[in-house]
């Protein structure tokens, strides 16, 4: 593993987010080879001993997986009710965590990784990572759904703003709702549909950022391609080897303009 800034190494090992890791370093809780760490110093986690408090930091090889979460599987490491979890499907799941939780009744793409800092950024609303979903709904005619989807829906004091919505007729009075969101609030798609008077029968996530579910079968997983990994890191201004990109833009507080909203 190449050298990287200490706070990045701590985040990547899943100790804390990068900013929380910076606080640990500033508070004197981190040591490198037995000496107090300095914020911003570079380390090689494979060759140097890093401790937080008295606990050594265990480095993990970087790992990225795409998993097709089946219906009824829980997005957690352990379930108190004894239900199957997403990690039950993955050999050697040590240090893996998920990018964006899916509720037990939602299927589709779930990204898993050992890179804690990347997870923090990929799920943070600041980076506006698009998530694409498809839902089978009923409760209103298709034409009405297309009209009401144009209206402003506020949940918990914040508007839900899909960047794209497509409504098409299904069978037996149902409709198919395809949408893209750049946020990941808890059960936000279901709550958005409920606010429009719709009942969600099935819901699946088809993509997360540049990663697509494709024809991956339920319960199966695959490693991300190098191109997919690179695109994910680029989307959150991180370099896979530990350095940051886009620092000037973030420091200025500027954001790219929101994609135009499309309703079909």
DSSP state of 257: P
Residue 103 annotated in active site: yes
Residue of 27, 33, 46, 103 marked active site: 103
CA distance from start to end of the chain: 48
Classify residue 5 as left (phi > 0), alpha (psi -120 to 50) or beta: beta
DSSP string for residues in 174-219: -EEEEEEES---TTHHHHHHHHTT-EEEEEEEEEETTEE-TTPPTT
**What CA–CA distance (Å, rounded) separates 49 from 64?**
25
For 76, phi then psi, to 5°, come to -165, 170
Q: Map residue 238 onto helix, strand or coil.
A: strand
Which of 10-46 are b and which e, b meaning 16 or more Cβ less than 10 Å from the residue's Cβ?
Answer: bbbbbbbbbeebbebbeeebbbbeeeebeeeeebebe
Show the beta-strand stretches assigned E in 19-144.
30-32, 35-36, 42-43, 50-52, 55-56, 64-69, 97-99, 107-113, 131-138
Give the residue numbers marked as catalytic. 103
């Amino acid at each position: 593993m190449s050298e990287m800034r200490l706070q990045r190494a701590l985040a990547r090992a899943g100790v804390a987010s990068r900013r929380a890791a910076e606080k640990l370093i500033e508070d004197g809780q981190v040591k490198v080879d037995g000496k107090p760490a300095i914020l911003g110093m570079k380390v090689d986690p494979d060759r140097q001993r890093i401790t937080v408090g008295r606990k050594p930091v265990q480095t993990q090889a970087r790992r990225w997986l795409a998993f097709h979460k089946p219906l009824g599987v829980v997005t957690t490491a352990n379930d108190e009710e004894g239900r199957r979890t997403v990690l039950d499907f993955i050999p050697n799941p040590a240090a893996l965590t998920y990018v964006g939780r899916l509720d037990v009744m939602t299927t589709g793409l779930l990204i898993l990784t050992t890179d804690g800092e990347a997870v923090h950024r990929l799920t943070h609303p600041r980076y506006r990572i698009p998530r694409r979903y498809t839902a089978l709904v009923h409760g209103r005619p298709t034409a009405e759904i297309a009209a009401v989807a144009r209206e402003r829906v506020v949940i918990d004091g914040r508007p839900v703003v899909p960047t794209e919505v497509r409504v098409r007729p299904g069978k037996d009075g149902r409709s198919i709702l395809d949408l893209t969101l750049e946020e990941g609030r808890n059960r936000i798609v279901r709550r958005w549909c409920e606010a429009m008077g719709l009942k969600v029968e099935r819901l699946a996530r088809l993509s997360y950022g540049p990663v697509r579910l494709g024809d991956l079968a339920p319960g199966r997983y695959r490693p991300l391609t190098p191109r997919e990994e690179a695109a994910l890191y680029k989307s959150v201004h991180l370099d896979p080897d530990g350095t940051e990109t886009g620092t000037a833009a973030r420091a200025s507080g500027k954001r790219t303009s929101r994609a135009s909203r499309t309703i079909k």
